[in-house]
Amino acid sequence: MKLSVRGEYALRALIVLGLDYIEGDSVVRIHEISTRQNIPKRFLEQILNDLKSAGVLESKRGIAGGYRLKRAPENITLAEVIRHIEGPLAPVSCVSERFYEKCSCPNEDKCAIRSVMKEVRDAIVKILEDVTVAQMCERVKKLQGTQANPLDYII
């Protein structure tokens, strides 16, 4: 599994929305997420719509509109988000539980490469299913301190 720019942007947007959810704010505008995380606005719109279709976000239209988490950040795992944005978590398709595809090995059950890749998949899945958006937000606070706007990058 390789996290693409799209996957990284999705996680960064969820951190902004998770922090605002924790602070009790209602909705966050696309422009604010884009500015705070330095994500191109047009690309961000596509990602947020994709997360909305996954049931992770909801949107509010109008002048006071924007996006917010549909569920509490404690109930959204990184595995769920990455699977929706990127696809399988497995490094090769023959070890994927949800996106399995037969490989070219003569005998899958006795393939050493497949055996190792299964262990890699299990480690990735365990970590990503155990980490929630809420935990990512806590890491942000811990790593960046309690600044007024912890994700504000100025270049």
pLDDT digits (tens, 9 = 90+) for 116-126: 988 998 999 99
The pLDDT mean for the chain works out to: 88
For residues 59 and 87, membership in a common domain is answered with: no
Is the same domain home to 40 and 87?
Answer: no
Instruction: Write the CB contacts of 98 (distance below 8 Å, at least 6 apart in sequence).
Output: 83, 88
Question: Domain check: are 56 and 127 in the same one?
Answer: no
Q: Which domain holds residue 106?
A: 77-131
Q: Are residues 70 and 143 in the same domain?
A: yes
C-alpha pair distances (Å), 50 with each of 44, 46, 91, 108, 112: 10, 6, 23, 35, 37
By the 8 A CB rule, do 86 and 7 touch? Answer: yes
Q: What is the pTM of this model?
A: 0.83
Q: Which residues pair with 77 in a beta bridge?
A: 132
HSE (side-chain half, CA atoms, 13 Å) at 36: 18
Q: Are residues 69 and 48 in the same domain?
A: yes
Q: pLDDT grade, residue 147 (50/70/90)?
A: low
Q: What is the pLDDT of residues 10-29, one digit of tens each?
A: 999 999 999 988 777 678 99
> Domain check: are 67 and 87 in the same one?
no
Q: Are residues 142 and 71 in the same domain?
A: yes
Tally of domains in the chain: 2
